[in-house]
Chains A and B, each alone.
Chain A
Amino acid sequence: MSWRRLWAIVIKELRQMRRDRITLAMIVGIPVMQLVLFGYAINTNLRGLEAGISDQSNTAGSRALVMDMLATGVIAPVARADTPEELMTMLRRGRISVGIVVPPDFERRRLDGRAVAQILVDGSDNTVQGAAVQLAQVPVDNWVPDARAPMRSTPNEGRISIVGFYNPQRRSAVNIVPGLVGVILTMTMVLFTGIAIVRERERGNMELLIATPLISAELMIGKVLPYIAIGLVQTSVILALGRWLFVVPINGSLLDVYVAAVLLIMANLTLGLLISTRAQSQFQAMQMAFFIFLPSILLSGFMFPFAGMPKVAQWLAEILPLTHFLRLIRGVMLRGASLWELWVDVLALLAFIVVMMTAAILRFRKRLD
Chain B
Amino acid sequence: MSAGDDGIAIRVHGLTKRFGSLVAVDHVDLTVPGQHVYGFLGPNGSGKSTTIRMLCGLLTPSEGEIDVLGLRIPAQAEALRSRIGYMTQKFSLFDDLTVRENLEFMAAIQGVPKTRTARRVDELIEQYHFSDRQKQLAGTMSGGQKQRLALACAVIHGPELLFLDEPTSAVDPESRRDFWEKLFELADAGTTLLVSTHLMDEAERCHRLAILDQGVLVADGTPSELTAKLYGHTFIVEADDPRRAQRALVDAPEVLGVAQVGNTLRVLTHAGGVDTGGAGQYLRDLLGRAGQVVKVHAAQPNLEDVFVAVTRKSRQEERMA
Instruction: Mark A residues whose CB is within 8 Å of B.
Output: 2, 4-5, 7-9, 11-12, 15-16, 19-20, 203-214, 366-369
Contacts and interface: CB of A to CB of B under 8 A. Distances in A.
B82 interface: yes
A212 B110 contact: yes
Interface string B57-84: 1111000000000000000011001101
A209 B285 CA distance: 59
A86 B104 CA distance: 79
Interface in B79-110: 81-82, 84, 86, 88, 90-97, 101, 104-106, 108-110
Nearest to A212: B109
Given A207-B58, A213-B78, A7 B86 contact: no
A209 B84 CA distance: 13
A16 B111 contact: no
Interface of B: 53, 56-60, 77-78, 81-82, 84, 86, 88, 90-97, 101, 104-106, 108-111, 114, 137
A7 B92 contact: no
A19 B93 contact: no
Contacts of A367: 58-60
A207 B96 contact: no
A12 B114 CA distance: 16
B109 A369 contact: no
B166 to A, nearest CB: 13
B97 A12 contact: yes
A207 B110 contact: no
Contacts of A204: 88, 90-92
Given A204-B90, A204-B92, A208-B88, A368 B59 contact: yes
Contact of A11 (B84, B105, B137): B105
Given A11-B105, A203-B95, A208-B86, 18 more contacts: A8-B104, A8-B105, A8-B108, A8-B109, A15-B101, A204-B88, A207-B58, A207-B92, A208-B93, A211-B57, A212-B82, A213-B109, A213-B111, A366-B58, A367-B58, A367-B60, A368-B53, A368-B58
A11 B117 CA distance: 15
Nearest to A207: B88
Nearest to A6: B108
Contact of A16 (B59, B92, B97): B97
Contacts of A206: 92
26 contacts: A5-B111, A7-B108, A8-B104, A12-B94, A12-B105, A15-B96, A15-B97, A15-B101, A16-B96, A19-B137, A203-B92, A204-B92, A207-B58, A208-B93, A211-B56, A211-B81, A211-B84, A212-B81, A213-B81, A213-B111, A214-B109, A366-B58, A367-B58, A367-B60, A368-B59, A369-B59
